[in-house]
A and B are shown apart, each in its own frame.
Chain A
Amino acid sequence: MRTRIGRKISLNTLALIVFAFSVFPVYWMVLTAFKPTKDIQAETPSFFPTNITFSHFGTAVNADGFWLFWRNSALVAVSAVLMALVIACLAAYAVARMKWRGRQAFILMVFIAQMTPWEALLIPMYVIARDTDMLDKLTMLTLIYFMVTLPFTIVTLRGFLNAIPVELEEAAQVDGCNQFQAFRRIVFPLLAPGLLSTSLFGFITAWNEFAFANLLIIKNQDQRTLPVWLSSFSNTFGTDWGATMAAATLFMLPVLLIFLVLQGRVTAGVAAGAVKG
């Protein structure tokens, strides 16, 4: 009996340690963002919120171009995801529901594309952007993020489609729907949760992307996205850690909300598609 209780205590202690290590950096970021500067620079740091201030958020939000970069990021991420969603939906349907020559080769291509080391393509992307007059343009970033999220979107949507019985569509067709109507009325509503979780994953990838945004937006600084702004922010305001942490918190917020809302689905989706940026 005693050993069982002892075991339980040590397990829970371990669990607390893991929990603390996972959460502490994020906690420290948010805490710093709310601390007055004199507390941040105090000899002995306080680990709990005592004096709360919103002034760092003010500094971050009022910093040059914050809303502009926020808008750029949202614009690029949302349009890339919408493009990927529509095009992946078509492809996933063809793969999951139809038989055609080259189907397996196509799936293999999608898998390979999913594992592409995008960072290795920075230089040619730059050259291509230059050749096509796409440097400093959000369109180029949108296209790249679309391509980065597309393979994953196809793989996951195919998984969701496979889970919807073909018989439902057939029944609708017997009742007089054509293939498109059957898809729209029967499959699409069932696919909606899959579309949602897949697109949020794509959104997170595009929202976070740094390397291409850093490379392809050079002269026209108004076209920068939030990750690039954040990294330059922490350089420019290197000593103002309160404002830097407030900016990082604001940057993290949409992603964290999405993750917390979709926790279960996200894990399931990952198991199905095996993804990460």
Chain B
Amino acid sequence: MAVTHVESTAEHAPAARTGSPAPGRRGRSLPVRLLPYLLVAPTVLGTAYLLVYPLIRNLIISFQKFGIAQLIRGGADFVGLDNYRQILSDDMFWSVVLRTFVFTAINVSLIMVLATLIAVLIGALGKKMRLAVMGGLVVAWAIPVIAATTVFQWLFQSQLGVVNWVLVALGFEQFDGYAWFANGTSTFAIIVVLIVWQSVPFAALTLYAAMTTVPKELHESAQIDGAGGVKTFRLITFPILRPMFGLILCLEIIWVFKCFVQIWAISQGGPGNATLTLPVYAYQVAQSLNRYDLGAAISMVTVVILGVALLAYFRQMFKEEGEL
């Protein structure tokens, strides 16, 4: 549905630009007409081999019996829907799906709320403070995922970690030597903090950039009419920037849902299964159980769920861009 919407808006858009190498368009020679196809050919070939083919391969594996033997020797048999039947009838799978949704919902709501508040805050600051906050956000944004993950392990280290020290100093004696990564809930919480900490800068800076495009006169007239900060945001800023909010929301949902590295590097889904989300589950089943077929089936389910989020994203994007 989203796609048809796209085509129709896209029809008239390129017209402005196409006049370029105009003279004698009809009489252009064959090589000239082929030129654009030659230019995009490497991209199409690359995508076919490195994206479409792996996806198809994944789909095929998900219909096969594909364990360590088939991985080494080849020659996998087709088993129809057996793998899907097996994962869908497993309670474990459904608890992972549920956890993935909860994980995504918690992360994304925190990210959106904090990012919005920080974006508004940046807008209200003086020049120096604004630069300081934006600089700080950029630093948090720039640190590579693996480096950040390592740092968080150090911050929350049980004996020497600074977080425990601060908590004890604040009077929470129970955190003396508290082992964060031994407990499922606290490991989950740390991963959430890590992901939110890493994701807020992008969302906040983008929202702030978008907010600067809202005409000042609108805010001023709203204030003259007696509207406070919250009301101005609700009645003016938010409606104007609704597409931008939607876009960032969709992106964050996609990113958090498919998030793998932070969880894998910190806990590999544990302790217990407390931090096991769909992408990690797929990887774990494939790697440690050598059930590549089940792993492939789980990742196909992930792709389908993300596809729905993707549709929403495209709708937003085309509404926003209005052209292809």
State the CA gap A99–B86 with chains docked (Å): 49
State the CA gap A117–B6 with chains docked (Å): 22
Q: Are A103 and B36 in contact (CB under 8 A)?
A: yes
The SS class assigned to the B binding surface is helix
Selected contact of A28 from candidates B74, B151, B202, CB within 8 Å: B151
Q: Are A28 and B132 in contact (CB under 8 A)?
A: no
Q: Are B160 and A18 in contact (CB under 8 A)?
A: no
Selected contact of A87 from candidates B7, B37, B46, B151, CB within 8 Å: B46
Number of interface residues of A (CB under 8 A): 101
Interface string of B26-50 (1 = CB under 8 A from A): 0000000101110110111011001
Tell me which residues across on chain A come within 8 A of B258, comparing CB atoms.
Answer: 117-120
Closest to B42 in A: A87
State the CA gap A86–B150 with chains docked (Å): 35
State the CA gap A40–B145 with chains docked (Å): 23
Give the shortest distance, in Å, between A161 (CB) and chain B (any CB): 10
- Asked if B93 is an interface residue, CB under 8 A from chain A, the answer is no
- Asked if A263 is an interface residue, CB under 8 A from chain B, the answer is yes
Tell me which residues across on chain A come within 8 A of B44, comparing CB atoms.
Answer: 106, 109
State the CA gap A150–B302 with chains docked (Å): 23
Q: Are B144 and A227 in contact (CB under 8 A)?
A: yes
Interface string of A163-180 (1 = CB under 8 A from B): 000100110010000010
Q: Are B138 and A241 in contact (CB under 8 A)?
A: no
**A252-B142 in contact given A22-B201, A41-B160, A211-B264 (Cβ < 8 Å):** yes
- Asked if A93 is an interface residue, CB under 8 A from chain B, the answer is yes
State the CA gap A96–B260 with chains docked (Å): 35
Q: Are B260 and A100 in contact (CB under 8 A)?
A: no
- Asked if B121 is an interface residue, CB under 8 A from chain A, the answer is yes
Interface residues on B, range: 35 or more
The SS class assigned to the A binding surface is helix
State the CA gap A257–B7 with chains docked (Å): 41
State the CA gap A227–B264 with chains docked (Å): 13
Interface residues of B in 21-71 (CB under 8 A from A): 21, 33, 35-37, 39-40, 42-44, 46-47, 50-51, 53-55, 57-58, 61, 71
- Asked if B18 is an interface residue, CB under 8 A from chain A, the answer is yes
Further pairs besides A90-B43, A112-B310, A259-B141: 15, Cβ < 8 Å: A11-B121, A26-B151, A45-B165, A87-B42, A104-B324, A106-B44, A110-B43, A115-B254, A123-B58, A124-B296, A170-B21, A227-B146, A230-B147, A248-B146, A249-B147
What are the 5 A-B residue pairs with the smallest beta carbon separation, nearest first? Answer: A259-B142, A22-B136, A94-B39, A147-B50, A124-B57
